[in-house]
Amino acid sequence: MHALVAVVMGSKSDWPTMEAAAEIMDKLQVPYHVEVVSAHRTPDKLMEFAATAADKGFQVIIGGAGGAAHLPGMLASKTRLPVLGVPVQSKALNGMDSLLSIVQMPKGIAVGTLAIGTAGAFNAGLLACQILANHDAALAERLEAFRAEQTQSVLDNPDPRDE
């Protein structure tokens, strides 16, 4: 099936974080594409990727990067597709640098910024599924089932001392 979501990241080193986005999309059966596209090291590739993403059939782009994390904003500047930004946790500043780089977009070009690290990556995948579910009833059902299962799991395990 054709990939509807593009998951791009600045470096291979971002994959241990970004695979959380793939995890939830696998669970919800949403086809995605994964690729390293660096704003700093491969700027021409970045521009080309973003400029052609909509024509390739992608509907959402997830961009993960750490440090001076220009990737999501630069992607957003060259595509009308919704871009979800994931701040990867950096070693020097624990991801605060990544977060502020991604979240502080000037007015006029939007990036939806998620939390730092794997929770943000997972939620970016989840949010991409929610966006797609507006026009996909079967996916909407799978999303409802995922949420019901999550709720039930919490209700079934109220004692915090249990494993």
The amino acid occupying position 120 is G
Closest CB 156 distance from ligand RP5, rounded Å = 37
Per CB under 6 A, 85 contacts ligand RP5: no
Distance, CA of 4 to CA of 160 (rounded, Å)? 39
Distance, CA of 2 to CA of 78 (rounded, Å)? 22
Closest CB 28 distance from ligand RP5, rounded Å = 25
Per CB under 6 A, 11 contacts ligand RP5: yes
38 is in an annotated binding site: no
Interaction mask 138-157, ligand RP5, x per CB under 6 A: --------------------
For ligand RP5, give the closer residue by CB, 115 or 131.
115
Per CB under 6 A, 84 contacts ligand RP5: no
Integer angstrom CA distances of residue 159 from 147, 150, 151, 152, 163: 20, 16, 15, 14, 9
Q: Residues touching ligand RP5: how many (CB under 6 A)?
A: 11
Per CB under 6 A, 95 contacts ligand RP5: no
Distance, CA of 117 to CA of 122 (rounded, Å)? 9
Per CB under 6 A, 126 contacts ligand RP5: no
* Among 67, 72, 73, 120, interactor with ligand RP5 by CB under 6 A: 67
Give the residue at shortest CB distance from ligand RP5.
Answer: 10
CB 64: neighbour CB atoms within 10 A? 30
**What is the per-residue DSSP string for 40-51?**
TT-HHHHHHHHH
Task: Identify which of 124, 118, 126 has the alpha carbon closest to the alpha carbon of residue 89.
Answer: 118
List residues forming the annotated binding site for substrate. Answer: 11, 14, 41
Residues near ligand RP5 (CB under 6 A): 9-11, 13-14, 38, 40, 65-67, 88
